[in-house]
Structure 1
Amino acid sequence: MATVRASLRGALLLLLAVAGVVEVAGGLTPGSAGALCCNHSKDNQMCRDVCEQIFSSKSESRLKHLLQRAPDYCPETMAEIWSCMNSSLPGVFKKSDGWVGLGCCELAIALECRQACKQASSKNDISKVCRKEYENALFSCISRNEMGSVCCSYAGHHTNCREYCQAIFRTDSSPGPSQIKAVENYCASISPQLIHCVNNYTQSYPMRNPTDSLYCCDRAEDHACQNACKRILMSKKTEMEIVDGLIEGCKTQPLPQDPLWQCFLESSQSVHPGVTVHPPPSTGLDGAKLHCCSKANTSTCRELCTKLYSMSWGNTQSWQEFDRFCEYNPVEVSMLTCLADVREPCQLGCRNLTYCTNFNNRPTELFRSCNAQSDQGAMNDMKLWEKGSIKMPFINIPVLDIKKCQPEMWKAIACSLQIKPCHSKSRGSIICKSDCVEILKKCGDQNKFPEDHTAESICELLSPTDDLKNCIPLDTYLRPSTLGNIVEEVTHPCNPNPCPANELCEVNRKGCLSGDPCLPYSCVQGCKLGEASDFIVRQGTLIQVPSSAGEVGCYKICSCGQSGLLENCMEMHCIDLQKSCIVGGKRKSHGTSFSIDCNVCSCFAGNLVCSTRLCLSEHSSEDDHRTFTGLPCNCADQFVPVCGQNGRTYPSACIARCVGLQDHQFEFGSCMSKDPCNPNPCQKNQRCIPKPQVCLTTFDKFGCSQYECVPRQLACDQVRDPVCDTDHMEHSNLCTLYQRGKSLSYKGPCQTFCRETEPVCGHNGETYSSVCAAYSDRVAVDYYGDCQAVGVLSEHSSVTECAAVKCPLLSAAGCKPIIPPGACCPLCAGMLRVLFDKEKLDTIAKVTNKKPITVLEILQKIRMHVSVPQCDVFGYFSIESEIVILIIPVDHYPKALQIEACNKEAEKIESLINSDSPTLASHVPLSALIISQVQVSSSVPSAGVRARPFCHSFLLPLSLGLALHLLWTCN
């Protein structure tokens, strides 16, 4: 808001300048003032030349160019020439006129950031000193000014138009009608592009009523300021009056870390016309980063982290302490990786770099920061290192001439530190210790190393591991990618992010209506997880955030509202993360995962959660092996399906009883064969619609109805949510279908290859009328025909019924397939077997809508985190009570690269679940997922592998509408 006040008063000077009262020079002749100034640079000929060109320039564009370049030739230390030029060229010269962020520098919170900003000539110059995650106001102001620079450049040499245009962007609040009118009057005939550009900007900053911000007054720290604030907002109209009144009434200058001014800064960016802005909930400054604080291993770092991201900005000392004690501390790797996930999540693919070119064309590798800014940053780092020292927060490393000593290795290091490749499982981005030691032994200036330090001891601080699961080997990036042009087989529509700052990018899996422009992504409205957060969640979703005070284990659930703010927050019971589990006489702390025989377990707040797989041990007898079926309770492999009250079909009553269902809680026959609307459970004015679902919450508390009652409407909404009836006719939505007296076949557009309904068996053991019906349930297909076998659960089982099943041939040569649990047929895919906390799901259901939470909800949420459109998400609830998630290539003939991409997506999601990363855990109900095991379709050498016709194309999203009539043409 400091810039608001300055710009409002500056507008008066602008009006005087435009009216001619203040002279604005368009061209200058070298006179006594110019000669006097330039004499100050007599010992620096380059600076003197630039100075003389500035004073002799008659071209506005030439003058601007010279002013922008001047700092390169006349350094900061030449104070006399800067002072002279500033006083000799009033109204025209500013030292950093080319730096659009200069007017924003006072918004910087950290002193060192503010100083760097004032000395900068571009955003890159402050990127090392100013942290974007907590200098939100500064970077927002710079972005606004950058847009102003683009818009106003259309004015060309028309000074009045340019000045009025620039006035629009000098304030962080909505431009006034008079400002917009002035731009139209002076610029309409000069540049329609400028008007269009400005209109795009002003429409995002609508006019607002000052009383809409009354809730901000409650943020003031003393009672007198609160009263003054409310009186001023209700009586003053112009921004200048309001800002001046608040400064006087509260006896304080506008500071972005002050809760009162912080609120005004935030509210000015999230206003919609005609909507009253209600007080945002106390979700902390950054709920996503606050989630990471509980992962700190030391109490010091936990307290510092909580202090920085809870309800008040940490001071400069707190940030410096966090940098010193925590930011590079190996014991805090869990917290630091979590924070990195929030700042820069690992994303597949890297391309279009001009300096770090060896990182290009890597579509199945993960990177945190593959962008032009990091590319430039790596080049800048190399230039700094060439001066003989690498400066780290806690140590300076003297090096030899890196232009001569291993320059390619140093370049790979600089690029790795900036582009940040990350491991798919650990998500770590540090280089391996052996590479660090090797380069420092060869090129470190060991005579100048800090006392008591060697190459090994320095690398122990920087890169303490050689475990390839946790470090990045530099050898990978010493040469270009070998993939070349085939990288187009895997695309990344949302990387780099094409959407505006407050919107979320989603992969377009729905396709488009014929004739409509079709992008591979869509931008959707979202909410930030706090006033200083850049972590965005989808509008309309439920979000879990830590309590605002940052108490470990305490969370609340909020919804992302239409206003762009988190609202309707509900507190949840705190979880005691200090509680441990005793297993085999040993103590296991919260979050620890381990194996017991063939089962995987995790300790969750003192409760032991384990998979329930039947195991054979090394002590098992031959008789045990002979009778072992691998099924729960070693049930016989008989396929006599029963339908559980949770909506899951179990292969037999024995298995249903084994998983805990009593006889009255299941009935014979598969769930899909039941008609939940017969007899009709709905009222006369309602229609009963089957709604098959598998519920994960407790049935006795939340039920699991397989139908829903909807009102009988005379007229249907025009919302497009296509469905296909049993006559293969498409309807715009379900209401229209039933209004026309038709029966639902499947949700989604009608597909040509499903015109003839032929039954298929899904991985969940249900028989579907068609492939499309299975898809609409997000279930992939196991084999053709009715379900007839229990399926494989263990490599040791002697299940024979699958022998009668005719499996389709594999979709791709060179793939070592997997068999999902309970299925018969192999496929090329990445698979996750996930355990969840049922008690947590019950709690979520209780505090939200009192409805059961289903497998489909989990799959739909996970689907949002798969960034490659060549892969899609399917899954089911296994008979061993695990959620099985399959990430499968969707192309007819998936290439090896596409299969690898799906594998990497699966590994990434497994890592996010196992580490409780806010990337997933912020989303309800994914926060209840505890532990995951991944299995991928590894590649086998192509030699000797026979390419086979593709007959397993069950996997294309319905909406793509591609030619899948080849689906069943193989024998």
Structure 2
Amino acid sequence: MATVRASVRGALLLLLAVARVAEVAGGLAPGSAGALCCNHSKDNQMCRDVCEQIFSSKSESRLKHLLQRAPDYCPETMVEIWNCMNSSVPGVFKKSDGWVGLGCCELAIALECRQACKQNISLSSWFTLSMFSYPFSAPKASSKNDISKICRKEYENALFSCISRNEMGSVCCSYAGHHTNCREYCQAIFRTDSSPGPSQIKAVENYCASISPQLIHCVNNYTQSYPMRNPTDSLYCCDRAEDHACQTACKRILMSKKTEMEIVDGLIEGCKTQPLPQDPLWQCFLESSQSVHPGVTVHPPPSTGLDGAKLHCCSKANTSTCRELCTKLYSMSWGNTQSWQEFDRFCEYNPVEVSMLTCLADVREPCQLGCRNLTYCTNFNNRPTELFRSCNAQSDQGAMNDMKLWERGSIKMPFISIPVLDIKKCQPEMWKAVACSLQIKPCHSKSRGSIICKSDCVEILKKCGDQNRFPEDHTAESICELLSPTDDLENCIPLDTYLRPSTLGNIVEEVTHPCNPNPCPANELCEVNRKGCPSGDPCFPYSCVQGCKLGEASDFIVRQGTLIQVPSSAGEVGCYKICSCGQSGLLENCMEMHCIDLQKSCIVGGKRKSHGTSFKVDCNVCSCFAGSLVCSTRLCLSEHSAEDDRRAFTGLPCNCADQFVPVCGQNGRTYPSACIARCVGLQDHQFEFGSCISKDPCHPNPCQKTQRCVPRPQVCLTTVDKFGCSQYECVPRQLACDQVRDPVCDTDHVEHNNLCTLYQRGKSLSYQGPCQPFCRATEPVCGHNGETYSSVCAAYSERVAIDYYGPCQAVGVLSEYSSVAECAAVRCPSLPATGCKAVTPPGACCPLCAGMLRVLFDKEKLDTIAKVTNKKPITVLEILQKIRMHVSVPQCDVFGYFSIESEIVILIVPVDHYPKALQIEACNKEAEKIESLINSDSPTLAAHVPLSALIISQVQVSSSLPAAGVRARPPCRSGCLLLLSLGLALHLLWTHN
């Protein structure tokens, strides 16, 4: 009989089927074959229910489904019922479509072996069960179906090992029957190619010994061939514990206890919780043992430290003690027990270390939009535009477990125990909101904090705290001063929000979160699919891509092929290296950068400003970066300025006239006039009259005869004299093009499979991506960057959003005091949304519904990055592409440009034809999240090259309004509305940048 590997999803489906057993017409007639078979399961009600459904089913597909799931509830040890069903129901012993070895097929090296494996050929004749004693015999495949005749074992070690392990696991774990916890722990033994750890084996013994001695015997036979591991190899698992007291206890136990019994018992006592497969701590012990199996390669520790992402946070410590402890814990070797205890005591709850602690929280659990599908903390569901760190089933279960512990009359914190009255009677809903908030961790888009507000803390402790048993010299106020020291709504969570369900209801479907919860395997990165499905084929709204972890003990994953900035492995403050994420899944080719002196300060107006601080000078935003002052270059005018100054004020750099006579700078940026180009630092020989897009960089042809010149417009942020900023690329002339599909559209509106094919046919490129019917006619549009594009599609292929219909003719608004005389002639599109107070990007004429970021960067650092990597310029497009990876809502997309005030302007724009208020709000929240990550130098962004050069950001969002549609100016012809609404939707079909 083929054993079906259990799955949670399958169990749930079957439970639903069992719940509907009453709907099966007729039931089983007494004395029928079905009734006689099912009587063999009278001591197992779940098995009996399934059995009755099998014999009652009148649908072939339903019967097949039930037969596949039956082994989950009727273990193979129930020989009588299986023999009976085998003789009564055709097909019971046919091998199921869910063959346990099927997931191993991709490990096959030879193509014919992989194909045979995917055809679900049985390995049973190769895999012998002689090492076990079973009350049944395994099915045997005929020789022609024997996979070992097609796949050579000497070449396919990984495949055979995987299948062997899965089939062993399927057989062993089938003894668990319907006992879910026992089955989960059993399956964890066989889930990976790692040696089972003592805690894994002990967990199986604890949960399965009383259920099935055969299962224990089966598992023991499998695990005895593996050598025991050093408990300290699992130290990094302790960081998975949600409770900091548990983290401390875990590290102490692993470094002091030797036997698995001592370790498991110590963890249960120290963490005040039983092992749960959903608990991240126990899950880590179950799944991440390091392999010592022969033939399995164990990679040496990377040169990035144990956790390069957390090591980045150590430089944010305010005290030298915490900085040194943090560095010791996350650099090349784990700290000792004393180091962990000292870090918990002096740093983990120290209010002055909020920057470091928030950074560590970002690494462990980044704030993500959306929460749903919770079964206990249901008031947190249906909140698609709110941020949470840990909206998942494990935290949901954790909140319920916390409530049960608190019902015993005490809330144990790492540094204080709080006695409470009977919380089942005193404010139970508020306590539930507290438990859920601490577990689900709602976080603010700006501060990313996850603590409850002080007033809520004081209120609940005054009402329900057992004040007679409070620790000496403590009151509700003093306790809350330790736990929740603020009532600032930008830094704390008001419980009132979660005392009632969300009011959004079904409209939450207007905003989706494909990567939350994460659907990808542990070693892969989830990315939102913004390209849509090719040729209308069905596909997922996300893709899982290979990645690298930032260290042996890190869960922080970066995309394969990207450049990453990590601190030096020794943890020296301000010292970094740039590494690439290689095909091996490891960081490699690391290159040291010059260390930055973070102790250097800036003197501004006679006052000292330390590194990393930001402040305003008149209307400009400034930041001190390693002793250098970086400021925006806005022209300022105050409300107290003289009338003559007001009349002469244009708002443009150097107060240049608001005349639009464009010039093209060597950096690839079109400036509205020569005056502005000179004002931003360009010499006369560094720009020429006319817009950059009007220039043909391939005339005269700068390439060799064997090469083709391809225009590649780009705006460079690095120093042009050092790294250049060519607007073309020389590519080899190929006789034959490959068949890789990367569609492009030519100027005749004909689509080609890729750029090579287009040029081979002698055509000219119009834009990247499939040809769109909206862009068939050449209808010029003006981008926010002041560049005129031949179509919406051409602009979008450069990640530039549209300001208005028609060629660029004006320089727009830069200041609330600047005049907009030339914009008066522009006819702006109607805003396609209700409930939006629009924002106007700097230099644009027309407002739009979007979240807008104005970002300052360190040009010197960009130059350094370019120097140590590929010696190529770093462009605006690179920045936008990287930022885009951090926008998790597919209903929002990223556009931007380099402003004439030397800022990077990033727009997070709704992409639907007529965006709903909820979608606009989601884009606003994404913008606020990105702003906070930039301003806090969070490794979530700063680990990615070149985003580490971004210093400070200001956000402006299109706030929601109850009123219906807003019009900025009289509408132009219908083409304007079509331009914005349809243009924004195009990215769903063909975004390639």
Normalising by the smaller structure, the TM-score range is 0.7 to 0.9
Cα offsets for 1:95-127 (capped at 9, x unmatched):
999999999999999999999999999999999
Cα offsets for 1:41-82 (capped at 9, x unmatched):
999999999999999999999999999999999999999999
Rounded Cα–Cα distance in structure 1 between residues aligned with 2:576 and 2:45: 64
The structural deviation recorded for 1:173 is: 3.7
The structural deviation recorded for 1:940 is: 1.7
The structural deviation recorded for 1:728 is: 0.9
Q: Is the 8 A contact 1:384 1:390 kept in 2?
A: yes
Aligned-partner SS, 1:442: helix
Q: Is the 8 A contact 1:890 1:957 kept in 2?
A: no
CA change 1:188–1:713 in 2 (3 A) is farther
Moved more, 163-172 or 608-617: 163-172
- Which residue number in structure 1 is paired with residue 646 of structure 2? 625
The structural deviation recorded for 1:749 is: 1.1
- Tell me the C-alpha RMSD between the 2 structures: 14.1
Q: Map 1:301-380 to 2 at 5 A.
A: 301-380=322-401
- Which residue number in structure 1 is paired with residue 135 of structure 2? none
The structural deviation recorded for 1:316 is: 2.7
Aligned-partner SS, 2:23: coil
Aligned-partner SS, 1:710: strand
CA change 1:147–1:956 in 2 (3 A) is farther
Moved more, 110-119 or 242-251: 110-119
Q: Is the 8 A contact 1:753 1:964 kept in 2?
A: no
- Which residue number in structure 2 is paired with residue 99 of structure 1? 99
- Which residue number in structure 2 is paired with residue 872 of structure 1? 893
Cα offsets for 1:553-577 (capped at 9, x unmatched):
0000000000000000000000011
Cα offsets for 1:512-563 (capped at 9, x unmatched):
2125331000000000000000000000000000000111000000000000
Cα offsets for 1:405-441 (capped at 9, x unmatched):
1111111000000000000000000011111111111
Q: Is the 8 A contact 2:104 2:159 kept in 1?
A: yes
The structural deviation recorded for 1:811 is: 1.6
Rounded Cα–Cα distance in structure 2 between residues aligned with 1:233 and 1:446: 37
The structural deviation recorded for 1:165 is: 10
Q: Is the 8 A contact 1:546 1:554 kept in 2?
A: yes
Aligned-partner SS, 1:523: strand
Q: Is the 8 A contact 2:227 2:292 kept in 1?
A: yes
CA change 1:100–1:670 in 2 (3 A) is closer
The structural deviation recorded for 1:327 is: 1.2
The structural deviation recorded for 1:942 is: 2.4
The structural deviation recorded for 1:169 is: 2.0
Rounded Cα–Cα distance in structure 1 between residues aligned with 2:409 and 2:253: 57
Q: Is the 8 A contact 1:213 1:277 kept in 2?
A: no
Q: Is the 8 A contact 1:101 1:123 kept in 2?
A: no
- Structure 1: stretches of 5+ with no match in the other structure: none
CA change 1:200–1:892 in 2 (3 A) is farther
CA change 1:309–1:180 in 2 (3 A) is closer
Task: Quote the sequence identity (%).
Answer: 95
The structural deviation recorded for 1:320 is: 2.1
The structural deviation recorded for 1:326 is: 1.2
Rounded Cα–Cα distance in structure 2 between residues aligned with 1:800 and 1:643: 23
- Which residue number in structure 2 is paired with residue 440 of structure 1? 461
- Which residue number in structure 2 is paired with residue 501 of structure 1? 522
Aligned-partner SS, 1:884: strand
The structural deviation recorded for 1:149 is: 7.2
List 4+ stretches of structure 1 deviating above 6 A.
1-147, 154-168, 174-278, 943-953, 955-971
Q: Is the 8 A contact 2:248 2:341 kept in 1?
A: no
CA change 1:188–1:420 in 2 (3 A) is closer
Q: Is the 8 A contact 1:693 1:856 kept in 2?
A: yes
CA change 1:809–1:217 in 2 (3 A) is closer
Aligned-partner SS, 2:41: coil
CA change 1:839–1:74 in 2 (3 A) is same
Aligned-partner SS, 1:338: helix
CA change 1:485–1:271 in 2 (3 A) is farther
Rounded Cα–Cα distance in structure 1 between residues aligned with 2:858 and 2:734: 40
The structural deviation recorded for 1:84 is: 37
Rounded Cα–Cα distance in structure 2 between residues aligned with 1:770 and 1:548: 49
The structural deviation recorded for 1:967 is: 15
CA change 1:796–1:299 in 2 (3 A) is same
CA change 1:277–1:725 in 2 (3 A) is farther
- Which residue number in structure 1 is paired with residue 298 of structure 2? 277
Moved more, 272-281 or 834-843: 272-281
Moved more, 24-33 or 67-76: 24-33
Does residue 967 of the first structure (1) align with residue 989 of the second (2)? yes
Rounded Cα–Cα distance in structure 2 between residues aligned with 1:139 and 1:532: 29
Rounded Cα–Cα distance in structure 2 between residues aligned with 1:248 and 1:456: 31
Q: Is the 8 A contact 1:811 1:950 kept in 2?
A: no
Q: Which of the residues 958, 979, 984 maps onto 1:957?
A: 979
- Which residue number in structure 2 is paired with residue 75 of structure 1? 75
CA change 1:30–1:452 in 2 (3 A) is farther
Q: Which of the residues 809, 831, 835 maps onto 2:852?
A: 831
Aligned-partner SS, 2:843: coil
The structural deviation recorded for 1:400 is: 0.8
Aligned-partner SS, 2:191: coil
CA change 1:398–1:570 in 2 (3 A) is same
Aligned-partner SS, 2:588: strand
Moved more, 711-720 or 552-561: 711-720
The structural deviation recorded for 1:242 is: 25
Q: Is the 8 A contact 2:72 2:178 kept in 1?
A: no
Q: Is the 8 A contact 1:124 1:377 kept in 2?
A: no
Aligned-partner SS, 1:736: helix
Q: Is the 8 A contact 2:280 2:394 kept in 1?
A: no
Q: Is the 8 A contact 2:530 2:991 kept in 1?
A: no
Aligned-partner SS, 1:6: coil
Does residue 856 of the first structure (1) align with residue 873 of the second (2)? no
Q: Is the 8 A contact 1:270 1:564 kept in 2?
A: no
Rounded Cα–Cα distance in structure 2 between residues aligned with 1:108 and 1:450: 63
Aligned length: 970
Cα offsets for 1:898-917 (capped at 9, x unmatched):
00000000000000000000
CA change 1:17–1:553 in 2 (3 A) is same
CA change 1:97–1:85 in 2 (3 A) is farther
Rounded Cα–Cα distance in structure 2 between residues aligned with 1:633 and 1:520: 47
Q: Is the 8 A contact 2:892 2:909 kept in 1?
A: yes
- Structure 2: stretches of 5+ with no match in the other structure: 120-140
Cα offsets for 1:317-354 (capped at 9, x unmatched):
32222122211111111000000000000000000111
The structural deviation recorded for 1:718 is: 2.0
- Which residue number in structure 2 is paired with residue 47 of structure 1? 47
The structural deviation recorded for 1:314 is: 1.9
The structural deviation recorded for 1:671 is: 0.1
- Which residue number in structure 2 is paired with residue 407 of structure 1? 428
Moved more, 686-695 or 42-51: 42-51
Cα offsets for 1:253-309 (capped at 9, x unmatched):
999999999999999979999999875641000000000000011111111111111
CA change 1:447–1:718 in 2 (3 A) is same
CA change 1:650–1:83 in 2 (3 A) is same
Moved more, 185-194 or 262-271: 185-194
Q: Is the 8 A contact 1:833 1:885 kept in 2?
A: yes
Rounded Cα–Cα distance in structure 2 between residues aligned with 1:115 and 1:98: 16
Rounded Cα–Cα distance in structure 2 between residues aligned with 1:446 and 1:132: 70
CA change 1:709–1:85 in 2 (3 A) is closer
Q: Is the 8 A contact 2:4 2:170 kept in 1?
A: no
Q: Is the 8 A contact 2:4 2:98 kept in 1?
A: no
- Which residue number in structure 2 is paired with residue 116 of structure 1? 116
Q: Is the 8 A contact 2:367 2:387 kept in 1?
A: yes
- Which residue number in structure 2 is paired with residue 606 of structure 1? 627
State the TM-score, normalized to the length of structure 1: 0.75
Q: Is the 8 A contact 1:67 1:95 kept in 2?
A: no
Cα offsets for 1:664-709 (capped at 9, x unmatched):
0000000000000000000010000000000000001000000000
Aligned-partner SS, 2:990: coil
Q: Is the 8 A contact 2:838 2:959 kept in 1?
A: yes
Q: Is the 8 A contact 2:831 2:849 kept in 1?
A: yes
CA change 1:116–1:405 in 2 (3 A) is farther
Rounded Cα–Cα distance in structure 2 between residues aligned with 1:126 and 1:313: 45
CA change 1:400–1:707 in 2 (3 A) is same
State the TM-score, normalized to the length of structure 2: 0.73
CA change 1:215–1:285 in 2 (3 A) is closer
Does residue 798 of the first structure (1) align with residue 819 of the second (2)? yes
CA change 1:788–1:193 in 2 (3 A) is farther
Cα offsets for 1:458-498 (capped at 9, x unmatched):
11100011111111111111111010000000000000000
Moved more, 765-774 or 189-198: 189-198
Q: Is the 8 A contact 2:5 2:98 kept in 1?
A: no
